[in-house]
């Protein structure tokens, strides 16, 4: 699928073309992950073996499984354990995930996130940094707002209705996490170094709504958010992007994995 081109005027000097990048989105749950580990690469199997805690192991396996399913669709490769073994999702020195196929780097940008037994993977067929995040919409304290949000964001929260407040806080926090991942820094940075601005005038519970994140270092990230079933999703990129494209996995996709496992 080709990126859409947006025409706009800048500084009154005529039309400028902005190519909107495509980001693909896939979610999986723990129930989707095979019981065996024969779909992991040798490096991944060794990494899994070193993990002591069951929850950490389960979350890590879920993230790797979701990434490999998404990459298989994007690379048009069969869902076969032997194919998955050749895919290696490795942490870069920054901690950001990088993709290797048969030990060769793949020029895709990916971001992984998981929360409460659900994992999401965002994939972009470009080198532009991306970040994604999942959050539960739940009450958060005034102290949380004071500690982690900028003055501008605190003012936005103060204007929100009681009914909208939990969703707005989940949106702001999730977009911060996504932007910090796109910066390849994560929570090593102060969350107040990024300021989130929802761009839609009202909440759209059925689709993706636009947002923007400004970093004090000068970067501006473009993004989208969605809230369904009490889960709030965000994705951001270093360049303008279309709403995330859900990956449609063929019905036989997982059957082929189970038959070959």
Please tell me which residue, 178 or 4, carries the higher pLDDT value.
Answer: 178
- Fold adopted by 19-128+245-260: Ribosomal Protein L22; Chain A (3.90.470)
- Please give the residue that has the higher pLDDT: either 72 or 258: 72
Give this prediction's pTM.
Answer: 0.87
Q: Given this chain, do its domains 19-128+245-260 and 132-237 carry the same CATH topology?
A: yes
Nearest to 243 by CA among 194, 193, 208: 208
Q: Is the pLDDT of residue 193 over 50?
A: yes
Q: Where are the domains of the chain?
A: 19-128+245-260, 132-237
Q: Measured between alpha carbons, how far is 159 from 162 in angstroms, rounded to an integer?
A: 9
Counting DSSP H helices and E strands in the chain, the numbers are: 7, 14
Mean pLDDT confidence for 248-257: 62
Q: Does residue 92 surpass a pLDDT of 80? A: yes
**Which position has the token pair 């470009």?**
126
Higher pLDDT pick, 254 / 216: 216
pLDDT of residue 50: 96
**3-class secondary structure, 8:** strand
- Res. 147: pLDDT tops 90: yes
CATH for 132-237 is 3.90.470.20
**Residues 177-190, mean pLDDT to the nearest whole number:** 93
Dump pLDDT digits (tens) for 24-82.
Answer: 999 999 999 999 999 999 999 999 999 999 999 999 999 999 999 999 999 999 888 99
Euclidean distance between CA atoms 254 and 102, whole angstroms: 22
Instruction: Return the percentage of the chain with pLDDT > 90, whole number.
Output: 76
Could you read off the pLDDT of 95-133 as tens digits, one per residue?
899 999 999 999 899 999 999 999 999 999 877 899 999
Average pLDDT over residues 197-212: 77
Pairing assessment for the beta strands 245-246 and 23-29 based on DSSP bridges: parallel
**N-terminal to C-terminal alpha carbon distance within the chain:** 31
């Amino acid at each position: 699928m080709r990126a859409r081109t947006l025409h706009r005027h800048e500084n009154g000097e005529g039309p400028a073309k902005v190519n909107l990048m495509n980001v693909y989105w896939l979610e999986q749950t723990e129930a989707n992950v095979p019981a065996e580990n024969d779909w992991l690469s040798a490096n991944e199997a060794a990494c899994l073996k070193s993990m002591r805690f069951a929850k950490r192991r389960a979350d890590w396996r879920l993230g790797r499984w979701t990434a490999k399913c998404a990459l298989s669709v994007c690379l048009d490769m069969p869902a076969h354990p032997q194919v998955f073994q050749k895919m290696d999702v490795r942490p870069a020195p920054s901690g950001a995930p990088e993709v290797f196929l048969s030990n060769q780097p793949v020029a895709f940008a990916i971001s992984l996130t998981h929360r409460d037994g659900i994992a999401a993977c965002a994939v972009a067929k470009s080198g532009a940094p991306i970040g994604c995040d999942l959050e539960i919409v739940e009450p958060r304290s005034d102290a949380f707002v004071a500690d982690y949000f900028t003055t501008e964001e605190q003012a936005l929260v103060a204007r929100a209705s009681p009914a909208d407040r939990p969703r707005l806080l989940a949106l702001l926090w999730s977009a911060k996490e996504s932007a910090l991942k796109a910066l390849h820094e994560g929570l090593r940075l102060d969350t107040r170094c990024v300021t989130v601005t929802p761009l839609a005038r009202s909440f759209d519970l059925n689709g993706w709504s636009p947002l923007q994140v400004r970093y004090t270092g000068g970067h501006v990230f473009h993004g989208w958010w969605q809230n369904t079933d009490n889960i709030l999703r965000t994705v951001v990129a270093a360049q303008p992007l279309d709403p995330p494209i859900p990956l449609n996995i063929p019905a036989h996709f997982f059957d082929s994995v189970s038959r070959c496992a």
